[in-house]
Structure 1
Amino acid sequence: MPMLRRTKEVFKKEEKQKEANERSRQKSIKEQEKEQRDTVLNIALGNENKGFAMLQKMGYKSGQPLGKSGKGIVEPIPLNITTGRSGLGHEEMKKRKAEENLENYRRKMHMRKQAEEQTADLFKLRLKTKQEQLQVKRDLVKSQKACQQLDMQKGLESPKEMWFWLQPEEEKEDDVDAEEEEEKEEDEFDVSDSEKLIMLTAYLREEHLYCIWCGTTYDDKEDLSSNCPGDTFADHE
């Protein structure tokens, strides 16, 4: 169903966007810290630094290797810095917390999706029921018209049952547009119409060898049994 497909796509986009925003925020913080650290480390030590001042008193000059032999290192040993001001284990705890938050968010989205699907299933079930009601009414009117015509062809002046023939007030219902019928509020299935349809179609098949869904009068019962798919609307779909 298009509505469900769009809902799923929205959920996926929301999850991806949230993950991307979190990664972007973490990246931005780390980049700022790295820029500040690199700026400080790239500034050479001056005379105000006590350690550097002591080296100068011993004859050291900037850019000169360390040691009496002059073979020592020129550049300072690189620093292995841990970013952040938290204690040991804090990063792991923060990562675990972020994963829990993400899992909670996904669980919430899953529950929302299930609620949407259940609502859609109920809507489809109600729509199907209304369509079945309308189909029964249409088939009943069709059967009544066919019964009246076939009975009169056999010389009958009145129906076997009063409702076997279409009554004048019922003819108006047949002229109502199908779309307008679907908009009417019909909360309960019309059982009486369903039972009438079963009885009337059985009468048409038995007395006239006629099937309303085939729209055919068969030669005999064997012909009807062999060539008609069945005695219900569903058999002819």
Structure 2
Amino acid sequence: MEKQGEIVLDISISFYFSSFFFILGIAKTHAQRRHLKVETERVENIERLRNLPKRSEIEKKMRDDALAKPVSENSKGFLLLSKMGYKPGMSLGVEKEGCSEGIKVPIALELKTDRTGLGHDTEEDEKRKQRIDLYQKAVLERAKAHEVLIDDFSVRKRWAARMKQLSKDLKKSRKVCQELDARNGLEVPTSHHFWPIYKVMKEEETSLVKKRRIEESESITESFTYFNGKIAPDDLEIDELSENEITELYVIFETYLER
């Protein structure tokens, strides 16, 4: 039994080392070299077969090459067409709208390789084109809207700057009118628009009974005066006037100053 065990152990060890040398590509014996050569050829054949074109690809290439070639003058079809007046270079069929001539090349064959119905691919292409067109139109509309917003923003900025300048000129004209009228001895303007009006805060006059009720809080109201303290009416809200109103007042002030 011990001898048989030693034999089995020797066989296992020799098999292990032979496999080890084979894996590393180290072939010492003729059998190992032959086995390594066979394995190498087998792997190369598998790789070569894997790189070979498929049958469907070969058939498609042969079909495309055959359709790309003109019909031979020796074929029966060409002879039949020649009897009907056909000559090389001529086109077949009637001229369609958008085409200046008929058919000169064979109509391409389209073999279906999927399970979709006839015309499905064409319909999908049309839908895809429609989606692309809609997307392009939406992009153009957004771009135009953006340009309109930019233009509108520029217009509003220019208008705001113009209104600000007009309001500033109007206030300067009122001060000039005030100075000239004051030099001429006027205590109030001929029109309250000609002088600047100032807002003054004052306490509301109340009776003794009301004063008891407002001991903790005082009621404040507004009043308006000219520069010399004379009472004036409510002032104009120049910043809220329209461009036409400011322009009219400005013309009135210029006319008044020229007198």
TM-score when scaled to structure 1?
A: 0.37
For the pair shown, the structure with the greater C-alpha radius of gyration is 2
**Higher share in helix:** 1
